[in-house]
Amino acid sequence: MIREALLTPNPYSRPQLQIRRVDAIVLHWVENPGSSAEANRRYFESLKDGTRKASAHYIIDAREIVRCIPETEVAYHAGPGRQYTPWALAKWGGEHANWYTIGIEHCHPDATGRFERPVVQRSQLLAADLCLTYDLDPAEAIILHNTVTGKDCPRWYVAHPEDLARYRDAVAEILEA
């Protein structure tokens, strides 16, 4: 179940810009060990005061999935463009990846960034639904923040690409069922 808790429209975390199309699903870690989806949602909400730009469409913890931004709108989760990898520059021609991607933040218990099993399972179900909705191939469309900017995010999957491969395979299996 997804709990809808949309951010207040504002230029820093919910600009209400229309997404152009969905080409990819970008996986992130919250980089705040032990925090909840709600705590990270409140952080994004606090940015409306103009401290910095950041948000995600979804945040997942061991208990729930929280939707912060509608999928039809841009979230500030994979930027800025001046820091993009060659892959991302080629994929989106130097435009912001945020115009073309859905961002999913994942809560984690410690600094290793390894997600708990319920977080991974919820994420895989959500990713499968998004792949089905937007006609995406999980093997190609499920990417890491690291793929876009080179950032160590999500740390566990950057360090353990075999677990990312298992994640994508599980999403493909859900789609085949």
- Give the C-alpha separation, 85 to 106, whole Å: 22
173 or 80, higher pLDDT: 173
Summarised one tens digit per residue, pLDDT across range 22-31 is: 999 999 999 9
Cβ pair 169, 176 in contact under 8 A: no
Residue 81 has pLDDT above 70, yes or no: no
Q: How confident is the model at residue 164 (pLDDT cuts 50, 70, 90)?
A: very high
Summarised one tens digit per residue, pLDDT across range 49-70 is: 898 999 999 999 999 999 999 9
Residue range 72-88: average pLDDT? 89
Q: Among 81-85, 95-99, 137-141, which stretch is predicted with the lowest mean pLDDT? A: 81-85
Residue range 41-48: average pLDDT? 97
Instruction: Give the sheet arrangement for strand 24-29, strand by strand.
Output: 2-4, 65-67, 58-60, 101-106, 24-29, 142-144
Cα–Cα separations (whole angstroms), residue 33 to 92, 94, 112: 32, 32, 9
pTM of the model: 0.97
Q: What is the mean pLDDT of the chain?
A: 96
Q: 19 by DSSP, 3-state: which?
A: coil
Summarised one tens digit per residue, pLDDT across range 93-102 is: 889 999 999 9
- Give the C-alpha separation, 81 to 134, whole Å: 24
Residue 85 has pLDDT above 90, yes or no: yes
Cα–Cα separations (whole angstroms), residue 45 to 14, 42, 73, 166, 172: 9, 5, 16, 33, 33
